[in-house]
Structure 1
Amino acid sequence: MVLEQQSLPLPQLSSLPPQPPQLFSSLLLSSSNYIQWSGFIKTILSAYNLEDHILQDPPIKSNPPFKEWQKKDNQVFVHLLLSLDEVHKSMVACSPNAKALWDHLSALYGQTNNIGRVFELRRQMADMRKDNKTLPQLFGEFGNLWSELEVLRPPTTDPTEIIKRQNEDKVFSLLMTLGDSILNYEIGNSENAKYLS
């Protein structure tokens, strides 16, 4: 018996969902993953040709296409909210549009001179252990940290910046030797206070 091969109809482009899928909630923003999160969100929005909602100012309300823009902007806004943890949702829920929400988070976490985050990345890389991870998992984790570090500290040939980074790295190295004990440092102790002044 010969079976006839049937071909299934391909979906028409117009039948695809008009807004971005639930991909937004697969990576939630936290205080330590802004660069990774923002790149992920920009990629999704770009795929749906909606990145202008976070990169450009809204059109004037009196323009005829404003209503259509506002509908799409509300969709982007909701999807952005879905990609935030509860703390961040409460910070930006009253933003007037998607761009205002995006700008607020960018101002909080998007500074490329975020020295605290640079230290945290260095510390995480220094503390990495293979444990039960496979080698590809370990390389992937390290690669993600390194990529974020390169965004915060891109390669430079500026001598002043190189010296600044060398000095920061010295401080980082010293702080990493202290471990968590720095958090328990007793400032009130007169013996310790002389080192902090």
Structure 2
Amino acid sequence: MTEALSRVQTSFSPITDSPMVPINIKLEGSNYGLWSQVVEMYISGKDKLGYINGDYPQPPDNDPSFRKWRTENAMVKGWLINSMDQSLVVNFIRYPTAKQVWDSAATTYFDGTDTSQVYELRRRVFRMKQAGGSIEKYYNDLQGLWREIDFRRPNPMKCATDIQSYNSILQKERVYTFLDGLDDRLDHVRSDVLRLKTFPSIEQAYAHIRGKIYDNM
């Protein structure tokens, strides 16, 4: 996800209202959480968020502002359509307003719980292994899946103490998952992390292992 956001941020500069400026995340059904965050950030950066959140409703045809609204609505709709996989475009292209496209995508791919998507994302997490690849790619892939899960299944707790306890448990589980997927050649480094006096966060565990790898190069 970090790599994906970096590619998207590149497309923000220079700021322009051209509908051809790409959003380098394509909605393909299973990545709605990431897609919606990136697209909302992009449109907000263009100062056109009102076209998807309802702040800029369509004025009457005879209103002096209608022509400007029609042009900018088409532009924002173009950003949304161009950020979708080609196979999905036919499902949204006929909506007349950008807000309708945005709302329809939310209705189609995110119902507030997304149980089946969370299940599939968790399966991908548990099956993911380093498998001889770089530690950076393995870590970033895991973090992307976890962020998608967190978006679809937010922490329901309200008490600050409960939130802290929940996050602590979650961090430990993620460290265990991360360590379990490492290549066997990193067994000694995995053991180092488990012996740390203060149990690390997932970010600290990654930094520790990455540092050990590069120290030995």
Using the size of structure 2 for normalisation, the TM-score is: 0.61
Shift, 1:16, TM fit: 5.6
1:135 Cα deviation after fit: 1.3
Q: Residue in 2 aligned with 1:194?
A: none
Name which of 23, 44, 47 aligns with 2:45: 47
CA 20–45 in structure 1, closer or farther in 2 if over 3 Å, else same: farther
Shift of 1:126: 0.4
Instruction: Tell me what 1:17 maps to.
Output: 16
Question: Match of 2:38, as an amino acid?
Answer: F
Q: 1:20 deviation in Å?
A: 5.5
Question: 1:1-24: CA deviations, max 9, x gaps?
Answer: xxxxxxxxxxxxxx9633355232
State how far apart, in whole Å, the 2-side matches of 1:100 and 1:127 are.
37
SS class of match (1:93)? coil
Rounded to whole Å, the distance in 1 between the matches of 2:15 and 2:84 is 25
Is 1:152 aligned to 2:152, yes or no?
Answer: yes
| Alpha-carbon offset, residue 132 of structure 1 | 3.7
Would you say the 8 A contact 1:20–1:45 is kept in 2?
A: no
Contact 1:34 1:109 in 2 (8 A): yes
- Alpha-carbon displacement from aligned partner over 1:64-97 (angstroms, at most 9, x marks no partner): 2121111011111112111111221010110011
| TM-score of the superposed pair, with normalisation by structure 1 | 0.67
Amino acid at match of 1:74: A
The AA in structure 2 aligned to 1:59 is: Q
Distance 2:91 2:40 in 1: 20
Q: Aligned partners of 1:151, 1:144: CA distance in 2, in Å? A: 11
C-alpha displacement of 1:41 = 0.5
* 2: CA distance, partners of 1:94 / 1:18: 22
Tell me what 2:36 maps to. Answer: 38
For 1:33 and 1:54, the matched residues in 2 are separated by 19
Provide Cα deviations, 1:119-172, integer angstroms capped at 9, x if missing partner.
0011000010102431121111111111111111111338xxx9xxxxxxxxxx
Within a 5 Å distance, the mapping from 1:75-114 to structure 2 comes to 75-114=75-114
What is the alpha-carbon distance in structure 1 between the residues aligned to residue 155 and residue 15 of structure 2? Answer: 41
Q: Equivalences for 1:155-166 in 2 at 5 Å?
A: 155-157=155-157
> Which residue does 2:57 correspond to in 1?
58
Contact 1:74 1:98 in 2 (8 A): yes
Counterparts in 2 of 1:16 and 1:35: CA distance versus 1, 3 Å: closer
- Residues 29 and 142 of structure 1: is their aligned pair in 2 closer, same or farther, counting only changes over 3 Å? same
Distance 1:60 1:97, change over 3 A: same
SS at match of 1:117: helix
Unaligned runs of 5+ in 2: 1-13, 159-165, 167-217
**Residue 114 of structure 1 contacts residue 152 of structure 1 at CA under 8 Å; is this kept in 2?**
yes
Unaligned residue ranges in structure 1 (runs of 5+): 1-14, 163-197
